[in-house]
Amino acid sequence: MVKARRRPQDCQNGAGWKISAVPEAAQKGRVPVVKLSKQSAEFGIVVRDEAVMLGYYRDVMQLPYKGTRPVPGGVLHRFGLGETGLKLMVPDTAPAAANLVGDVQESTGIRYWTIWVEDLDDAVGSCVAGGGRAVRPIAQADQGIRYAVVADPEGNLAEFVEQRDR
């Protein structure tokens, strides 16, 4: 296992995240390659069982359903998630490979997404009762933050985070 080394130019922001300082001189003259046209992101999950997954995200998690549309090779269901969007892509033919099952650190790649919630206990309890699986139970982090990781019925991981008053 490789351990992260703290460098002198690393610091922590107010939320406790480690950030690396980039010298101002290195930023001069840089042109952003990715120029955002929208101040949010959307992400997609490819699913096998349309009915189960649609029910989980729409009825259990109660994400606002934004509709469906055909796309090359399948159908896309869209959900609102604050300023962000979640898409479930249902391919015409189920993929041969399945999602890796396990906790966040058990494989590389995009392993989880994070949702900030008002009531962590309710969110985790509802998801587990509705077919999800608690992968990492509710834990206390620093600065009044509590979190848990839940797998949806196909094993996709969502981290639920709650900020409590200190």
Our CA dihedral for 21, 23, 29, 30, rounded to 10 degrees, sits at -20
In angstroms, the CA 147 to CA 98 distance is 26
The domains located in the chain, with CATH, are 40-93 (3.10.180.10), 103-166 (3.10.180.10)
Mean pLDDT of 130-139: 96
78-87 pLDDT tens trace: 999 888 999 9
| Among 40, 61, 47, residue whose Cα is nearest residue 156 | 47
Q: Is the pTM of this model over 0.85?
A: no
In angstroms, the CA 93 to CA 85 distance is 24
pLDDT at 9 over 70: no
Query: Residue 99 has what pLDDT?
Result: 72
In angstroms, the CA 12 to CA 89 distance is 37
